[in-house]
Amino acid sequence: MQSNSFIEGVSHKIRRQIEELERVSGVESSALTVDGVPVDSYLTRFVWDEAKYPTMSPLREIVDSIHTQVAKIEDDLKVRVAEYNNVRSQLNAINRKQSGSLAVRDLSNLVKPEDIITSEHLVTLLAIVPKYSQKDWLASYETLTSYVVPRSSKKLHEDNEYTLYTVTLFHRVADNFRTSAREKGFQIRDFEYSPEAQESRKQELERLMQDQESFRSSLLQWSYTSYGEVFSSWMHFCAVRVFSESILRYGLPPSFLAFVLAPSVKGEKKVRSILEGLYDGANSAYWKSEDEVGGGMAALGGDADGHPYVSFTINLA
């Protein structure tokens, strides 16, 4: 049962990953396939893959082979998802810097070369002013320290909380200005205009976007293929379970029929009732719960859902 739960879990994990990638990519959801056919068709027409799992091999060897293959696919999934998420995280960090408030965001795309004056004696600082304090800023920035260029403050940008202003002053009083501005609730952002750095950031963003798309496309295609491989492995494992459980229950030589049923939720009880009716009723009470037989023997193995046939439920969703 542990192996079955593991293989089923990996199958569902890959399916959920496909759904997430299709949603993010805006790709129309496509029907999942196994060996080139829809899942339900593969399930109802299942044929044992003799080349992959020779029936002359011991059952334990077949089961171990299936488990090892699925475990390898799960490990590969973890690596690929980690690579994809790493690129996404880097992009999200850049986007937060570009879309956050002026107090924290990257200012390089808001400042133009003509907004900055840098000379032997003069420097332009960038001030982040709360929107409700703009009048206070305009009335006081020239007097926050000496040697501030009069009427040098220019408004560059504003968001919901803050406004970005420039101010030009002498180099030697810049630290004094920062201190006085902070005392009045104005934030002076460190900034150095560099066309080279700005171009480098732009290229990095473009590279990350291309990497994200590449990883996403690659992961999606890999997931389509791997889902089919894991689902096929799962069905082979279920076939082993049906065979071994039937041998344990009915003995040798093998004389039983395996088939797939897909009743509706409401129709399951009726289908099971019909199947139980096909069984020799001599020992039917043995398979029923205490509630059904008025306090008689519990179902086989203490399972209240025990049946006179081997039954496994395959959850596709």
Instruction: Annotate 66-83 with b (16+ C-beta within 10 A) or e (fewer).
Output: bbebbeebbeebeebbee
* Percent of the chain whose predicted confidence (pLDDT) is above 70: 91
* Percent of the chain whose predicted confidence (pLDDT) is above 90: 55
pLDDT surpassing 90 at residue 80: yes
pLDDT at residue 289 in the model: 45
More confident residue, 294 or 299: 294
CA 238 to chain CA centroid, Å, is: 28
pLDDT at residue 66 in the model: 96
* 261-290 pLDDT per residue, tens: 888 888 888 888 888 887 755 455 544 544
pLDDT surpassing 60 at residue 129: yes
* 16-27 pLDDT per residue, tens: 999 999 998 887
* 164-182 pLDDT per residue, tens: 999 999 999 999 999 999 9
* 190-227 pLDDT per residue, tens: 887 777 777 787 888 899 999 999 999 999 999 999 99
pLDDT at residue 258 in the model: 84
Instruction: List, in sequence order, the alpha helices (H) in the chain.
Output: 2-25, 39-44, 59-99, 134-140, 174-183, 195-250, 268-278, 290-293
DSSP, res 254: P
In this prediction the pTM is: 0.72
Q: Which of 1-10, 65-74, 92-101 has the lowest mean pLDDT?
A: 92-101
Q: How far apart are CA 40 and CA 234, in angstroms?
A: 14
Other Cβ atoms closer than 10 A to 45? 10
Query: Which sequence spans correspond to the domains of the chain?
Result: 1-101+197-251, 113-192, 261-317
Q: How far apart are CA 135 and CA 150, in angstroms?
A: 16
CATH code given to domain 1-101+197-251 = 1.20.1460.10
CA atoms 204, 210, 214, 215: torsion sign:
positive
Q: How far apart are CA 102 and CA 91, in angstroms?
A: 19
Span 182-186, mean pLDDT? Answer: 95
pLDDT at residue 118 in the model: 84
pLDDT at residue 305 in the model: 52
pLDDT surpassing 50 at residue 111: yes
Other Cβ atoms closer than 10 A to 39? 17
Q: What is the DSSP string of 69-132?
A: HHHHHHHHHHHHHHHHHHHHHHHHHHHHHHHS-TTTS--TTT--GGG--B-SSEEEEEEEEEGG
CATH T-level fold of 113-192: Alpha-Beta Plaits (3.30.70)
| Position 297 confidence tier, pLDDT thresholds 50, 70, 90 | very low
| Position 291 confidence tier, pLDDT thresholds 50, 70, 90 | very low
pLDDT surpassing 60 at residue 150: yes
CA atoms 302, 308, 309, 314: torsion sign:
negative
Q: Which of 82-96, 129-143, 220-234, 255-269 has the lowest mean pLDDT?
A: 255-269
Span 42-55, mean pLDDT? Answer: 92
| Position 259 confidence tier, pLDDT thresholds 50, 70, 90 | confident
Q: What is the mean pLDDT of the chain?
A: 86
